[in-house]
Each structure stands twice: as C-alpha cells, then as structure tokens.
Amino acid sequence: MRRILVTGGAGFIGSHLCERLVRDGHDVVCLDNYFTGAKSNVEHLLGYPNFEIMRFDVREPIKIEVDQIYNLACPASPVHYQTQPVRTVETSVMGAVNLLRLARETGAIVLQASTSEVYGDAQVQPQDETYYGHVNPIGIRACYDEGKRCAETICFDYHRQYGVRVKVVRIFNTYGPRLAPGDGRVVSNFILQALRNKPITVYGDGSQTRSLCYVDDLVGGLVAMMESPDEVTGPINLGNPGEYTVLELAEKIIAMTGSKSQIEYRELPQDDPQKRRPDITRAAEVLKWRPHIELDIGLARTIGYFRRQFQLELDVA
Ligand code: NAD
Ligand code: UDP
C-alpha cells in the first residue's frame, strides 16, 4: 500500500484515477481547487478510510508525506484554459515546480500529465515522442501548450540536477463519464447536443482529426507508467491510435443517440490542430500497455452516463 497524492483528483481523469487507486488499496489524497473539477466527481469515495480530499491550489508550495504524486492539476479544455490563460500557465509551471520540490524533499516519484498539445499543429503524422512539435508560442492555445512544455522541461531538469524520479506521459484526447458538461470538449458537446436534439456544432469543415481514448484505458496507462522501473522517465505517449475526423464523430454520435440534430458549421478556432494521432509503440514496448476499448463501446458508455445525468432535464424538455 502506497501513500499517493493525486492533484486535480476531482477532475475528469483524476476522479477515475482516484477510484482505481482506492480500489487497489492505496492511501489516496485527492487535491483540487475545483477550478474545473467538482467534489461530486469523488463524493462516492468519501466513505472509504483510504481516501481523503483536500482543497488546495498547486500554485502554492505544499508539504505532505507521500510516495507517489500524479500531477494532473490543470484545466484541460480549450474553453476553460483560454478564459484564464495566466492562471493556466501558473498552474502548469508553478504547480510542477511545487510538486517537484515536494518530491525532492520526500523522495516521492512525480508523474506529470503532459499532453499531445506539446506537438501543437503537428507537421508529422502520427506523432511519436521524438517529434519536437509545432507550437505557436504566442497564440491563444499557448498558455496550455507552452505551460505543459515548460512543465516537461522542469521535470527533466529536476531529474538531471537533483535526481528526482520523474515520469512524463503525453496524454492524447481522452473521453468518458464525468467529462464536465459545458467545458466545450468535442465528445461531451456533441453528445449533449445530440441528446437535446440541438444543432451539432462542427468547427471548420470537420476534416480535422482526433484520436479518442476511453478513460479506463488511459488510467491503466497512468498506473503502468507510475509502476514502471525508475529509469523509465518518458516522455511516453498514451492514447488510442484510432483516428476520426470531427465530422465522422458528429455523424457517429447522431446515429448512436438516434438524434434529430442537424450539423451546423462554425468558425474553426485559431491554431486548432489539423491532425492528431499517437504513435504508441513506446508505450507498448516499455509499459506493455495498449488501449482495448473501441470507440463505439466507449461512446455507448459515455452516452449512457450523460443520459442518466441529464434525464430529468431531458424529460422536462
Ligand atoms: P479537468 O479539467 O477535468 O481536471 C483538471 C483538474 O485540475 C480539475 O479538477 C481542476 O479543478 C483542477 N485544477 C485546475 N487548476 C488547479 C490548481 N491550480 N490547483 C489545484 N487543482 C487545480 O481535466 P482532465 O481532462 O481531467 O485533465 C487532467 C489532466 O490531464 C490535465 O493536466 C490535462 O492537461 C491532462 N490531459 C487531459 C487530456 C484529456 O483529453 N482529457 C488530454 C491531455 C492531457
Ligand atoms: N470541436 C468541434 N465542435 C465542438 C467542440 C470541438 O468541432 O463543439 C472540434 C475542435 O475544433 C477540435 C476538436 O473538435 O478540432 C477537438 O476539440 P476539443 O476541444 O475536444 O479538444 P482539443 O483536441 O482541440 O484540445
């Protein structure tokens, strides 16, 4: 049994990770400032003696005795991180520094949740970990992309300079139950629009691609990375290589929900990456990890969740 700190633990991925770690019998501290997460995401865990929750902001230094730190604290949806860009940079960079300092003092391992966004609007397809990326450093996505890139930098500097054990994973688009409604991400937007028979908002012509990983698969990858030998520092891509255009995704969700929604085209946001697909060879070789949950299965589960969550509202409508 390990003492584990999960920052951003009340968020979408964090709450699933906490669930898994509590179930595995670890002593789990979920830390969150509820900027984009919610207590309700983890309230079902509160009765477990090996789970506790702490309201805290990772921009502040923290002292706590733990063996492992999963650093997930950071707004992840473009809508959220772009409304508070300064806070996003501070959270990524100061958060990483504070947790690395803690790791240096306690000897804990830090797993840093990085992102496919470090590749920016990638000029190579698929993206493997040797690609340095194509990021606009002053655009509206930069607070997130460059914040995460700098967090990777400081992880490797703490590793080289102070011997802190670090593990960097680059997470590709992940979806599933507990995506926050209204945070603008494509899967939750399309499912909610479809269930409400409202227009499905496709940005641009919908030819841009994303590869979508179901959250349970992703959590398995995070744990495999944390439990890997110390010399495995990453970066390692975690994601599902199945690639779909945004338009294909919209059509799939309309069909799966039996919705009457029509597709409505909207302006493509600035710097929206055109193509995104992970090369997961490294994860497969080093972690023996690969995703197993097909898009149709994962979407069916996610649609089921949103149906249950919003049944009352849908009944009224
Ligand atoms: P999320 O917004 O649901 O979760 C982030 C959590 O961090 C929230 O609970 C939020 O309240 C918390 N948080 C934000 N700022 C904080 C601060 N200063 N102090 C403490 N807590 C803070 O997003 P998510 O999708 O669960 O993403 C989790 C992590 O995974 C993020 O670091 C994100 O960058 C990374 N990631 C996610 C995806 C994805 O597709 N979901 C893809 C790539 C990377
Ligand atoms: N998108 C869309 N309609 C929406 C929400 C998103 O067409 O209502 C597109 C968006 O432009 C992007 C893709 O879907 O090309 C994924 O967007 P998301 O915000 O989920 O994540 P990103 O990968 O861009 O961070």
Mean pLDDT rounded to a whole number for the chain: 96
* Number of the ligand closest to the Cα of 261: 2
pLDDT band, residue 314 (cuts 50/70/90): low
Angle 186-195/295-309 helices, nearest 10 degrees? 60
* Number of the ligand closest to the Cα of 186: 2
For residue 71, give the nearest of 18, 113, 30 by alpha carbon. 113
In angstroms, what is the span from residue 23 Cα to ligand 1's centroid?
A: 21
In this structure, which CATH number among 3.40.50.150, 1.10.1040.50, 3.40.50.180, 3.40.50.720 belongs to the domain 3-172+215-238?
3.40.50.720
What count of residues does the chain have? 317
Tracing tokens 């990890």 back to the chain, one arrives at 289
| Amino acid identity, position 34 | Y
* Number of the ligand closest to the Cα of 200: 2
In angstroms, what is the span from residue 317 Cα to ligand 1's centroid?
A: 31
Which candidate in 70, 119, 144, 158 is catalytic? 144
Distance CA 84, CA 107 (A): 33
For residue 175, the cross-strand partners are 214
Tracing tokens 């960097």 back to the chain, one arrives at 168
Give the domain ranges of the chain: 3-172+215-238
- Our CA dihedral for 288, 119, 114, 85, rounded to 10 degrees, sits at -160
In angstroms, what is the span from residue 103 Cα to ligand 2's centroid?
A: 35
- Residue owning the nearest CA to atom 33 of ligand 1: 76
Cis amide bond preceding 235, omega within 30: yes
Q: Over range 146-163, report the average pLDDT.
A: 98
Distance CA 52, CA 22 (A): 10
Output the pLDDT for position 313. 61
For the cut 60, the answer to whether the pLDDT of residue 317 exceeds it is no
Helix (H) or strand (E) run with residue 94 in it = helix 85-106
Q: Over range 269-276, report the average pLDDT.
A: 94
Tracing tokens 């085209």 back to the chain, one arrives at 265
Helix, strand or coil, per DSSP, at residue 154? helix
Is the C-beta atom of 157 inside 6 A of ligand 2?
A: no
Taking the complete model, does pTM exceed 0.85, yes or no? Answer: yes
- Residue owning the nearest CA to atom 23 of ligand 1: 76
| Amino acid identity, position 117 | E
Output the pLDDT for position 266. 97
Pairing of strands 243-245, 209-211: antiparallel
Distance CA 146, CA 129 (A): 16
Q: Which atom of ligand 1 is nearest to the CA of 213?
A: 40
Output the pLDDT for position 315. 56
C-alpha distances in Å from residue 61, one per residue of 54, 94, 275: 14, 9, 37
In angstroms, what is the span from residue 58 Cα to ligand 2's centroid?
A: 27
- Residue owning the nearest CA to atom 11 of ligand 2: 203
Quickly count: other Cβ atoms within 10 Å of residue 93's Cβ. Answer: 19
Helix, strand or coil, per DSSP, at residue 278? strand
Q: Estimate to the nearest angstrom the gap between the alpha carbon of 300 and the chain centroid.
A: 20
Helix (H) or strand (E) run with residue 316 in it = helix 311-316
Q: What is the pLDDT of residues 92-143, one digit of tens each?
A: 999 999 999 999 999 999 999 999 999 999 999 999 999 999 999 999 999 9
Is the C-beta atom of 70 inside 6 A of ligand 1?
A: no
- Residue owning the nearest CA to atom 14 of ligand 2: 186
* Pocket perturbation via mutation, ligand 1, pick of 6, 7, 12 by most ligand atoms within 8 A of CB: 12
In angstroms, what is the span from residue 268 Cα to ligand 1's centroid?
A: 24
For residue 79, give the nearest of 180, 184, 204 by alpha carbon. 184
The answer to whether 144 is a known catalytic residue is: yes
